Amino acid sequence: MNYFSSDFKLGILGGGQLGKMLLTETRKFDIQTVVLDPSAEAPSRFGCNAFYKGSLIDYDTVYQLGKMVDLLTIEIENVNLEALEKLEEEGLPVYPSPQTLRLIQNKGKQKDFYVKHNIPTSKHQRFVGLDDLHQALNKDELDFPFVWKSAQGGYDGNGVQICRSAMDLVNLPDVECLAEDMVPFKNELAVIVARSTSGEIKTYPVVEMEFHPEANQVEYVICPARIDETVAKKAREIALKVSEAFNHVGLLAVEMFQTENDEILVNEVAPRPHNSGHYSIEASYTSQFENHIRAILDLPLGNTDSKVAGIMVNLVGEEGYSGQVVYENIEKIMAIDGVTPHIYGKRETRPFRKMGHVTIVNEDMTEARRVAEEVKNSIKVISI
């Protein structure tokens, strides 16, 4: 198949910032793209050959988009799987496959999958709703504290709540959910795995994530993680095991905990480009977005090594600001060596909404971390 400067059309379900960054790579290779997103203001709308506004969870909308393209991929998991299964049945290549997505979309099923495949993870219980969870507490089958997660549709800290007492249950939605044991951990780590349709597989270096204490969002992604080499090796080996168990194609971001005694526990996965791999655009030989394209088209995977230490800072909306976005002090951070901002193209800001990220590269990790702090304290995402 000739993908380059040809009539081949790649479909992408989802037109957010991940889609926008994927399109940078397709434009580099001159691959035609068709994007579907529910928002007319989606960041991807300018970077593709054809953009359609429509629901990602409506069967007919997803099916019709699939009929326009030669291969279909995603930048968000919450898509209509029945339509993808029908398209696959009719011969359309869909990566990651709907079978893989079905296991991952539901966090309860995802956790059961780890247990079944002897992949280390924290203990969990599944519940059909809040009544079911309350009954387990009343029968002493569940104890505080625990981590509550919505089984479907959670993202960026939404759909996750640490429950230390009955007070923390008051505002939880009555949805299918799970309760996970609290894990005493030293670090939150992630490994991105690229796997092609013919089974070629590569892992990116282990990254370390520093979280915002209130928003439950990643503030910094640090590559390489500041951990012992034996722990890093174990994390990469477990990520490979997870990838092969899911039989996924494309990118798989495997989020993990490093426990107090250096065990690695898998938290959850995302079958697509991921926030923890944004640093790779500037810091790696091959970015995560390029390797996703290479993997789904069964082209040779690119080198996943880093050229230089990289830190990514998320740009999120400041508390107390909603409306037309303004990036305060962006010129100030652009004057610093090794600093590259990525603005996603969302016109409206609101508290903690992901509006962009900044990559800091430096030969010296300590200096990169210092600059990252300076960037974080300088740039502010506010409104007019």
Spell out the domains of the chain, with CATH numbers in brackets.
Answer: 9-94 (3.40.50.20), 123-181 (3.30.1490.20), 185-383 (3.30.470.20)
Is 90 annotated as belonging to a binding site?
no
Model confidence band, residue 242 (pLDDT cutoffs 50, 70, 90) = very high
Distance CA 114, CA 3 (A): 36
Give the number of C-alpha atoms closer than 13 A to the C-alpha of residue 331, restricted to the C-beta side. Answer: 0
At 212, phi and psi to the nearest 5? Answer: -75, 130
Would you list the DSSP string of 143-180? -SSEEEEESSS-BTTBTEEEESSGGGGTT--SSSEEEE
Confirm or deny that 188 is annotated as ligand binding: yes
Please report, as a single letter, which amino acid is at residue 233: K
Look at residue 218 in the predicted model and tell me its pLDDT. Answer: 79
The answer to whether the CB of 249 falls within 8 A of the CB of 93 is: no
Read off the amino acid at residue 79: V
pLDDT exceeding 70 applies to what percent of the chain? 98
Strand pairing report for 218-223 and 207-211: antiparallel
Is 214 annotated as a binding-site member? Answer: no
Q: Is there a contact between 51 and 68 (Cβ–Cβ < 8 Å)? A: no
pLDDT tens for residues 288-319?
999 999 999 999 999 999 999 999 999 999 99
Say whether 75 counts as a known binding-site residue. no
373 is in an annotated binding site: no
Cβ proximity of 33 and 75 under 8 Å: no
Three-state SS string over 211-278 comes to ECCCCCCEEEEEECCCCCHHHHHHHHHHHHHHHHHHCCCEEEEEEEEEECCCCEEEEEEECCCCHHHC
Give residue 228's pLDDT: 96
| Rounded Cα–Cα distance for residues 366 and 231 (Å) | 20
pLDDT for the residue 155: 65
Res 157 pLDDT > 70: no
Share of the chain above pLDDT 90, in %: 94
pLDDT in tens, 116-151: 999 999 999 999 999 999 999 999 999 999 999 999
Mean pLDDT, all residues of the chain = 95
Distance (Å, rounded) from C-alpha 100 to C-alpha 106? 11
pLDDT above 70 (res 156): no
20 assigned binding-site residue: no
DSSP 364: S
pLDDT tens across 180-218, in order? Answer: 999 999 999 999 999 999 999 999 999 999 887 776 677
Is 348 labeled as ligand-binding? no
Query: Per-residue pLDDT for 86 more than 70?
Result: yes
Contact 249, 197 (CB under 8 A): yes
Please calculate the CA angle 135-140-143 and round it to the nearest 5 degrees: 100
Q: In what order do the strands lie in the sheet with 9-13?
A: 50-53, 32-37, 9-13, 71-74
**182 known ligand binder:** yes
Q: What are phi and psi of 152, to 5 degrees?
A: -125, 140
DSSP element (H, E) containing 334:
helix 330-334
Asked if residue 181 belongs to a known ligand binding site, the reply is: yes
Statement: residue 154 has pLDDT above 80:
no
Neighbours of 228 (CB within 10 A): 11
User: Would you say residue 27 has pLDDT above 80?
Assistant: yes
- What is the three-class DSSP state of 143? coil
| 3-state secondary structure at position 128 | coil
